[in-house]
Structure 1
Amino acid sequence: MKSPAPLPANEPARLASLRRLHLLDTPVDPEFDQLVELACLLLKMPMGLISLVDEDRQWSRGRWGLAVQQSPRDTAFCNWVVADGTPLVVADASQDPRFAEHPLVTGEPGLRFYAGVPLCLEPGLVVGVLAVLDSQPRTLNEEALRQLELLAGQARALLRLRRKRHMLNEQALLSDSRLARYQAITQGAAAGIVRIDGRGLIQEINDYALNLLGYRRDEVLGHNVSRLMPARWAPHHDHYIRNYLEGGEARVIGKGRRVAALHRNGHSVPVHLAVGQVHQSGPHEHAEFIGILTDLSEMHSAEQRERRAAEMVARQQQLLSVLHKGLTDYHALMSGNRLWAFLQDALRTLTGSDYSLIGEVLPAENGPALKVHAITDLSWSEASRQLMQRWQAGEMLLTNPDSMLGRVFAGGETVLSNDLAEDPRRGGFPPGHPPLHNFLGVPILDDGEVIGMFAIANGRDDYSQELVAWLEPFTSTCALLINLYRQLNERDAFTEQLRQTRDEAERASRAKTEFLSSMSHELRTPLNAIMGFAQLLLNNQRTPLDERQHRQVEQIYKSGNHLLTLINEVLDLARIEAGRIDMSFEAIEVADVVREACDILSPMAQQQHIRLQPQMGRCGAVTADYTRLKQVLLNLLSNAIKYNRPQGQVHIGCRCEGERLRISVRDTGPGIAADKLSQLFQPFNRLGAENGAIEGTGVGLALTKRIVEQMQGEIGVETVPGEGCEFWFCLPLATPAPAALTEALPSRAPAEGAGRTVLYVEDNPANQRLLSELFEPLDGVELTCVPSAELAFEMACASPPSLILMDINLPGMSGLEAALLLGRHPRTRQVPVVALSARAMPEELNQARQAGFRDYLTKPVDLPRLLALLETLTGETS
């Protein structure tokens, strides 16, 4: 522990002043305990004491909540008050080096807070301390410290009185000079002192008490002390004294408590009353009591202010709660048609009013009119009840501008009346109308325009302009809600138009889908024959083409393949825009996809004399759809090749940016003008290259952007005209998936061709010839072509084939219907059926799977895939 407080310079004189009190080691005086109790109650402290500081100890004259009577001086908190002679406040003793190791801090009761005020009977001589304590850290504001100092003044008065009482008891007779000094003390005390006899009659009263209660001395001397008490206590006072003198319970004597004294003009004065008996021998009627009155008016006023402030805070919180609910639960309240009733009930509660009304101002032919949204029931008859129901239903509007309500909603006035019966602005009430004694009407404004109003009546307290100001947040909230309400009604008014627009958009979307499906079919059907026969010519081993013919047919195939790519891009873009493209997300190593894309485009780059330079390093994996990621890279790389300069380069790189991977494709071409960058990713916009030598539809970049965004990514471009472009896109990083462990499938010898039959259902002669040419060189495979599903069903039932290839769009029965029929017939349910159609929309593929097709091939047919499928499926049935 830190060294104890130093002794004051006047220590001998201080001890002499203490000795003159004759209080050390004397019996308990209730007055001191009561004063300490009062201090604890006023300051809301659990412990307190009045301590006298002797030469080597601290001794408690009065205490509350503490069991310790005395303790060594050098460890006492009050020793520091004696040393400094000024008040001491310790917010947290455990953090103060002077007291951190004090036994009352480290042990029971675990003291943390201490506030002490010195007690001096003579200037500069501190004989003791009035202190309050707590086991929790606290602070003490200026008002509380002032209260403690006032109570310390009462403690000093008690000490002086106790010293005088001791002097009087030492002498058998009280000399005139000593009596004069006693009177001087009582008259000069900073507290009211009243002496009464055993009958309750006032024998003496000092000037302080007379000034406090407004009496002259002759008006109270000889009168019963109950004259100074409020009516609720006065009749019981004599009974308390008589009961005490007869040995009963001390209800008043020896106790201190807060009471109210009665001023001469009739108002109450808050005081603390401590009553003690003057001990002397003799009969009861000779008994005397002294009452000490401490004026608590300042404390009472402070408490009243604090209570009013607390009530105001509670009202503010209640107001804020109403505003918060009205704004945050607006849609819920509106959907349940409870908004206006909620605001009306809240208004009544907030203002303590019996009646309230909230309405909206609407334009009418003859001026503003009020539509009532909510009103407290004021009906007094069946006719008035029906009238109010019509108001609330909006069937009737209030239009009279000269009524008290009209002055508000039509004139924009704030109408306030606390004497409605005598108010000349009030119109007459019909017989039976509930009585109204006060009224307040407030307009609800929006940019100076009256858009509504609310009104209240029969408040418990008078209405005032202060109330109007306090309700301003409520008024502003009502303005906001009325505007929201109007917007909601306007939205409802447009709902039908929006529904019609939506229906038209859906019809347009269906027409678009049907158009795309039709376009797909109409374009793919001739492409099937063009590309199919081109493949047959290129792979014909019996009559091979010469070099010139081979080059020409190869160009036909490449052109058809390019046209197919363009068709697929347009269809892909339409699917993505319609949200109908499915993706399968997985962890994909970007370097592998880049390498594969470069391998695919390497011949194209070589033909254009462009060098591909992938510099991937350790790119890691991204979460994406493998096929679509590859499509994005192919689109960007092919553009970088096509729009490059001769002998140019294409650089492919990647780098991590936080939780994403950025992949970039940079070319050495002419770049893009800055004024055209905003049009770059728009479909069918080729930025002026429509008439150039490079082919395209202008949907590649638009499609790429849609794909990247659907994979939760972002795409952009950086360009310097004359130096090239760098297209980049970012995708979310992913942990690379572990390599799948696959078991080696047992090899199976290819099925022999003998006995394999294929039934091809197709009404287009060109497509029939194509398949016939394809199957002609295949040994042991017999192809039969039929033009309708009905004929195909009869032939399949008569002699089930090994495989059925079926178009979807057939005359008569469709391919879907035929597949369902074949799947139900016992003779054909085991025959695999494969769709071969020019239709390639996702919904059409789903319909085919549901109809029982084993696979779905789109035209133009991929001949290698068809042959592989033929080998697999006919092998199952051989």
Structure 2
Amino acid sequence: MEEQRRLAALYSYNILDTSEEQAFDDLVRIASHICQTPISLISLIDSNRQWFKARIGMEPQETHRDIAFCAEAIKSPDLMVVEDATNDPRFQDNPLVIDDPEIRFYAGAPLLTPEGHALGTLCVIDHETRKISEEQRDLLQRLARQVMNQMELRRRIRQEKITSEALQQSLGIQRAMFDSANLSIIATDLDGIIQTFNQGASRMLGYEPEEVVGKTDPRIFHDSHEIVRRAIQLGKDLGRMIEPGFEVFVAQCRETKHADEREWTYIRKDGTRFPVLLSITPVIKEDRIAGYLGIGRDLTETNRLKEERNEMSEEILRANKLLEAELEEASIRHKHLVEASPEMIFSMELDGTIRSMNQRIHGLLGYNADEVVGQNILDLLFSGSSQFNFEGELLLDRMKNMADGPGRIEMSLPFETRAGNLIELYVTLDYVSLGWPMVFGRAIPNQEDVLSQYVLSSSRELQIGNDIQLIDEISKSIAEEASRCLDEEERMGVTLGIREMLMNAIEHGNLGITFEEKSLALEEDRLFDLIRERQKEASIRQKRIRVGYTFNQKELSVHIEDEGQGFDTEKMLNRNIKDVVESRRMHGRGIRITKEMFDEIRYTGKGNRVILRKLFE
């Protein structure tokens, strides 16, 4: 620990490996002359070497610390003298004694810092054995102190230079900031006479510094009526008479010794007016106020933006509330649709790493969703298949190229269940960029089209119960029938419109959930609990939804009929939902969405049968 402190002290002088300096060269020459020796050194002991700042009679610039006489000399604060190195057990086998320069005599005075750390020595060396007089001892130690004085002086000069350069840089930066700031900076003496007037003040007020510095006080920039009103208010606050002059600006900060900040009106040289936020601070020198500093910021743009913000705030608030309501319902519906979907829905990175998975995987493969998140999609493929390697590599290769197109992959893949069985799933993958590339996928068993399970006749009629899990598949299947006449955006729109109408037929039709009941359930986050409760009622379990559609080159026509009580369709179709409260109470969002997607939406009877028509150009 002591050696670490000694080295830290040495490094603080920043002297190692520096160039020769006359002051140090003179000191070794004087030492050599006093002691009549051919060699004299200023040696500094590093962690693994001794380095010579100045030297006479010695060629190397440094030697290894292990053989350095000075490394032994710094162990004591006193002068170390070796009269005959060949008879000294510490040095008789030293290479510097046995070989060149064949040291016999050595005397070294340690270089001590004010804290007592020995950084090295001032030493004299001879090739002959000899003694040293008391006078020589004393002078050598005095010279060692002069070496340290030179090192201290050198360090102080270097530090002062660094400080001076930093100060000059800081002053330059401050001056640049002072002149370039979009603030008026005005300093006055105790009487209010302007002493400093920066470029920001000149730009803001239209006066040149020479017009005001030393000639006037800041009242010329102010509204006289404001000054009088402020004087009256200050008189009440401070309990004394305040003259309506310069005192108005500084009375408050003089009392508190802190900045006084408030809005004022500035008047330019051309007579135009503008609002400013003015902060006035006392300038303290030796615990006394020596003057005042006023910093003003133009509030014109700030006030304009504030007015615009106030005008827009109510509209933004209403829009945010409506958006929050829509997002809340959409989130609830999306969560239910994903988790209740008959498809296995998942997301993954382009290398196949799974990032999310719905619970449908349990029904298809026997795994829980959280078991597969973080695994690679290849880990779920059937390893016993001869096509496994080929299909897996093909899948990853196609996924890596999805960003460059096409953005969709559709293929059958062999998956392996937890029990080790093979199941073929038809997989659809879509590329999406959310700031980073992602792939969203869905997978279903390779089986007959879901519609075929519910077909009642060759007229493409089908019938389902009140299971909302079937809605997504039926909607997509009908839209797929017409996909050759629709672009991707239209196909998704038709799917969404049919799905919304089927959802309304189940919720508001067969289940009899009123708009008020749905509003309350949404607010309490229990809509799907309400749906499950209604589905359990015996009278409702018997009710069915009938769906039919026809498709040709000119149009797609879909009719959906429930067995509910119906509702006032005219009122709903023409309803203008203006605010979030009405939106949450009446809903009707499915109808509004469908109106945008289809060319015609027509209710018949009591409102429990709807016909949708999509015309093709």
Larger of the two Rg values belongs to structure: 1
Structure 2 length as normaliser, TM-score? Answer: 0.26
Task: Normalising by structure 1, report the TM-score.
Answer: 0.19
